[in-house]
Amino acid sequence: MSRAVTLFTGQWADLPFETVCQKARSFGYDGLELACWGDHFEVNKADEEYCRRKREMLAKYGLKVFSISNHLVGQAVTDRIDQRHKNILPGYVWGDGDPEGVRQRAAEEMINTARAASTLGVSVVNGFTGSPIWHLNYSFPAVAQSMIEEGYADFASRWIPILDKYREMGILFALEVHPTEIAFDIATARKALKAVNNHPNFGFNFDPSHLGYQGVDYVGFIYTFAERIFHVHMKDVAWSDVPAEAGVFGGHTEFGTTGRYWDFRSLGHGNINFEEIMRALNRIGYKGPLSVEWEDSGMDREFGAKEACEFVRRIDFPSSNISFDAAFEK
């Protein structure tokens, strides 16, 4: 099918935008998925002139852009706000740190992100939503179902107004289903969709790495939400087939620590079955970019990013438009 292969710049935000463009071109990528942090894409600066300069810089290196991503601000829209958020939010969103004020400013910034996307000329914003009920994930002390429903109602009350603005602007919001979000597996993704009344501008940034180690059917996710796959992240993860010191919850260890049950890996070095993912994407007719989110604590990132681009090109086979045994009838 020859889908565009892009590089998500979130893990490269320590480098200037032009440097990332240079490297992505040298690694063989078709384009970038621009993170809204560092100097890669600054929402509060994204007027016509700013976006024109970004497009020109991309064109200078033969690159395209299909989406932007604002995971960090999106996280604060529905979260229980604490010191962690101050470390990831722009100062003007954090403000005085009052939790409700942070949430409201984050919501406004996510609307501004849609405006910026429109000005840049892309139609997809990827990101997180946060969750007011992640802390209730393990049901002890026993969690009343009403508490879960209240959490989804809070999520809906904060995100439906944002999504309505996205609809007005013709922009899609793609939630990256992920632990700590309102949707972190198939069951909770269904609940999230129901909560926002199946809003036409709410869908998913499919990333199998956040599903596989949880035991979630990541290929089944594609089929379950075929009409809602707005964007695709290519990221691998490895998990152990024997007991480990730090289990699924990570044991408060850092990524890359020996003894973890799971860890992110460069593409092709983990447990994810990407051939089945490609077959599923072909079956649902997904034609958007395949965006490499490169994370591997044990590998040089430039080596890994280049190898990952080659890996995606190798496995992105086109679907067939004939039955393999049709020739028997001739």
Residue 268: name the closest of 225, 219, 310 by CA: 310
The β-bridge relationship of strands 31-35 and 229-234 is: unpaired
What pLDDT does 330 receive?
Answer: 62
Q: Please count the structural domains in the chain.
A: 1
Per-residue confidence (pLDDT) for residue 327, from 0 to 100:
58
pLDDT given for residue 319 in this prediction:
81
The residue type of 226 is A
In a domain, 50, yes or no: yes
Measure the CA–CA gap between 270 and 258, rounded to whole angstroms.
Answer: 16
Half-sphere exposure of 9 (CA within 13 A, CB side): 32
In a domain, 251, yes or no: no
Residue 129's alpha-carbon distances to 70, 133, 159, in angstroms, are: 10, 12, 8
First to last CA, the chain: 27
Is 122 domain-assigned? yes
Tokens found for residue 97: 């740190």
DSSP string, 203-223: EEEE-THHHHTTT--HHHHHH
Query: 59: helix, coil or strand?
Result: helix
- Find how far residue 173's CA is from the centre of its chain: 10
Is there a contact between 196 and 159 (Cβ–Cβ < 8 Å)?
yes
Res 315: pLDDT: 96
**Is residue 322 classed as helix, strand or coil in its secondary structure?**
coil
Asked if the structure places residue 250 within a domain, the reply is no
Contact between residue 11 and residue 36 where contact means Cβ atoms under 8 Å apart: no
**Domain membership flag for residue 247:** no
- pLDDT of amino acid 326: 60
Report the distance separating Cα 304 and Cα 23, nearest Å.
12
Question: pTM to 2 decimals?
Answer: 0.96
> What pLDDT is stored for residue 320 in this prediction?
76
| pLDDT one digit per residue (tens) for the chain, 330 residues | 489 999 999 999 999 999 999 999 999 999 999 999 999 999 999 999 999 999 999 999 999 999 999 999 999 999 999 999 999 999 999 999 999 999 999 999 999 999 999 999 999 999 999 999 999 999 999 999 999 999 999 999 999 999 999 999 999 999 999 999 999 999 999 999 999 999 999 999 999 999 999 999 999 999 999 999 999 999 999 999 999 999 999 999 999 999 999 999 999 999 999 999 999 999 999 999 999 999 999 999 999 999 999 999 999 988 877 665 665 566
pLDDT at 324: 59
> CA 299, 130, 24, 283: dihedral to nearest 10 degrees?
100
Strand spans (E) along 164-289:
172-176, 202-206, 229-234, 236-239, 262-265
DSSP 134: G
CATH code: domain of residue 99: 3.20.20.150
| Domain residue limits at 206 | 5-237+263-329
Distance CA 120, CA 116 (A): 6
